[in-house]
Structure 1
Amino acid sequence: MKRILFVSSTRIGDAVLSTGLIWHLAEQYPDCRITVACGPLSAPLFAALPNVARVIEIKKRRYSLHWLDLWAKCVFTWWYLVVDLRGSGLAWVLATLHRRIFRGNRRDSFFRRLIRGTHKGTHRHRVEEISDVLNLKEPCAPRLQASTEAQSRAASLIPSSASTSEIILAIAPVATWRGKQWRIENFVELVRRLTGEGGLFQGARVAVLGAANERDQALPVIEAVPEARRIDLVGAVDLPTLYSCLERCSFYIGNDSGLTHMAAAAGIPTLGLFGPTDERHYAPWGDNAAVVRTALSLKELVGFPEFDWNRTETLMDSLTIDAVLAAVEDLQARQGSNVTPVTTY
């Protein structure tokens, strides 16, 4: 039996983008047992993936002592392979036959790398970069899997008895960084125009997504949807259930966020709204995914020495509602139908 340690990300988006590698390892080594080490927020997403035997939560501590904690939990195992997407150096202090380490520019802060797009000054997608860690000829598309329990919970929220012609529009209006969050009032108007009379998704039910601490910000969108058509999932379910809910939706619109990557992994039409982050590096991945960005370029938004991400307000104002509507129409037209059916189990 081959034991594999897979060190992934703290952030949900990066963690989702790494999941394709788990599937690849499970296919390459069918008898392997994979231990995933990642942040507490993203940990639930890995539990149901193939060959995953254990998920270790990396809880950040001062002076990087969390790496010492992880080492202590892994040091007494003989590993066949250690895959470290964090470039932490952990692989060099564990007994392992093989090491695969992502070598980014660790001198840069997260936000500097996010804004610039990539390490080493290139503009490759994150999925392509991390696929290089395993020397793969083709990138591994992100792929999640929900447990039977998560699917059952999702079915109770979005019943499988719904008509297959019913449209469910998923909206995630909040982002972790204010700079990349489209204004809430824009989402309210977008939903009104899409689901109102004559809209592309006229009469659609609307699922509003987000974390519990995002509820106050998301509330105007929630309240703008008539109760009979409202599916309020903000802070209501765990990530595996939320993913299973996304599988049952017809179309997704959201900021550059972890939920956007989850929607793309679910295979539903996914539109990501981008501005001060680089879509060449972090666009939702997949044939059913698309991006619409601000009229102002990345360089115009953040490419000056005085830029301070800690103090900025939204940088998404040059992205108009009309531009997003046009992008929705273009992406939906690619589906070959005016209606994408709800997934049922």
Structure 2
Amino acid sequence: MQRALFITLSNIGDAVLTTPALEYLHARHPDLRFDIVADARSAELFTHCPYRGEILLKHKRAGWRGLLRLIRTLRRTRYVLAADLRTDGLAYLLRAERRMTKLRRGPAGPHSVEEHMAVVAPGVRRAEIPPTRIWLTDALREQARERLAALPPGPLLAIGPGANWLPKIWPLESFAELLRRLEGRVAAAVLLGGPKDRERAEGLVREAALPMLDLCGTTGLLEATAVLERADLFVGNDSGLGHLASAVATPTLTLFGPGEPERYHPWGPRAAWLVAPDRDLARLTPEVVAERLLRHLERWR
């Protein structure tokens, strides 16, 4: 099978937002096997992609020696096409019959998904852009079902209480008050995040009035995505979890303080977001979030 190369981005959310471009390329070149260059943080997302070849890691901290090793490895293959969604020009150092890069591309729309699509399909209409995608297996879905089996039946809320920067995190007491306002409207909640979110999650469990399951720091990306797929709704800070939820068609509400919601909100018809007054999440009230969340739940139930 002929080979193509797809160079994705590093952060989890950013990598998810490149999947429409990958899906578009596969739909137009179903005979190609796509090798994928990814970061160690996001490479897991492509594990079960059915048309991928090798996954090769690009380590930011490996310096020029690491980059040379990667280039030597990639140059062993002659690619039919190389699509590079980064901006460092790696594709021009490889053996490829056709190169698609961001270099000399003009702006293509407010959202980063539109920018990525402009690399692989200039002039594509918004309606033709595929949704974001995470590839799950039956085993991952069964694992998620078992994880959630102890929770009571009824609407399940997934929560992402953390983020990679403190100003992007809605206060713990606001999440706790949100859960009090949702009593009787959702049956239970599940907390998702990394090991750094454990302390915040434990505090929320202590304050919560709803049945809670804390999975922070206990799942990989794909298992967390399978849990999100079973949830009726996701609410969380501007982080990768909202993008994972949207990629499995779970309705999402992302809370933005600082950041660029127009450019980086989760992609898809079931994705909604709120921007805090003056970009200060401390000023975003649980009352406003609860009202928007319940409207979103009713729309997509």
Aligned pair partner of 2:226 in 240, 244, 248: 244
TM-score by length of 2: 0.91
Distance 2:204 2:42 in 1: 25
- The CA deviation at 1:269 is 1.2
For residue 65 of structure 1, report the CA deviation from its aligned partner.
4.0
Q: Give the C-alpha shift of residue 332 in structure 1.
A: 2.0
Asked whether the equivalents of residues 151 and 188 of structure 2 are also in contact (C-alpha less than 8 Å), the reply is: no
Counterpart code for 1:261? H
User: 1:31 is aligned with what amino acid?
Assistant: D
Identity of aligned residues (%): 32
Aligned residue in 1 for 2:196: 213
Instruction: Name whichever of 272-281 and 213-222 sits farther off.
Output: 213-222
Partner of 1:200: 185
Tell me which of 239, 252, 261 is aligned to 1:257: 239
Q: 1:209 to 1:104 in 2, by over 3 A?
A: farther
CA, structure 1 residues 65+318, in 2 after alignment: closer, same or farther (shift >3 Å)? farther
Matched, 1:316 2:281: yes
Deviation at residue 123 of structure 1 after TM alignment: 6.5
Match of 1:179 among 142, 148, 167: 167
- Give the structure 2 partner of residue 153 of structure 1: 143
SS at match of 1:56: strand
In structure 1, the residue matched to 2:116 is 130
1:71-93 Cα deviation digits (max 9, x unpaired): 12201100011111112211111
Q: SS at the partner of 2:163? A: coil
Which of the numbers 171, 176, 181 marks the counterpart of 1:188? 176
User: What pairs up with 1:15-164 in 2 under 5 angstroms?
Assistant: 15-61=15-61, 63-103=63-103, 124-135=110-121, 136-137=124-125, 138-159=128-149, 163=153
Q: Higher helix share goes to which structure?
A: 2
Cα separation, 2, equivalents of 1:230 and 1:127: 34
Task: Let me know the Cα RMSD of the aligned residues.
Answer: 2.2
Structure 1 position 24, deviation (Å): 1.9
Gaps of 5+ in 1: 106-118, 302-314, 341-345
* TM-superposition CA deviations, 1:225-270 (whole Å, max 9, x none): 468x222211111111111111000110001110011111111110
TM-score using structure 1 length: 0.80
Deviation at 1:161, TM superposition (A): 11
Shift of 1:62: 5.2
- Change in 2 beyond 3 A, CA 1:249/1:289: same
Q: Is the 8 A contact 2:170 2:237 kept in 1?
A: yes
Q: What are the superposed Cα offsets for residues 279-298 of structure 1, whole Å, 9 maximum, x if unpaired?
A: 110111111110111121xx
Residue pair 1:207, 1:231 contacting (<8 A) in 2 also:
yes
Where structure 2 has 5 or more consecutive residues not aligned to the other structure, the ranges are none
Name the amino acid aligned to 1:127. Answer: V
1:120-178 Cα distance to aligned partner (Å, 9 max, x none): 6x861011111111123333321111123322211211239975xx1110000101011
Q: Secondary structure at the match of 1:79?
A: coil
Are the aligned partners of 1:26 and 1:50 in contact in 2 as well (CA < 8 Å)? no
Distance (Å, rounded) in 2 between the aligned partners of 1:281 and 1:85: 16
Paired residues, number: 297
- How big is the shift at 1:57? 2.0
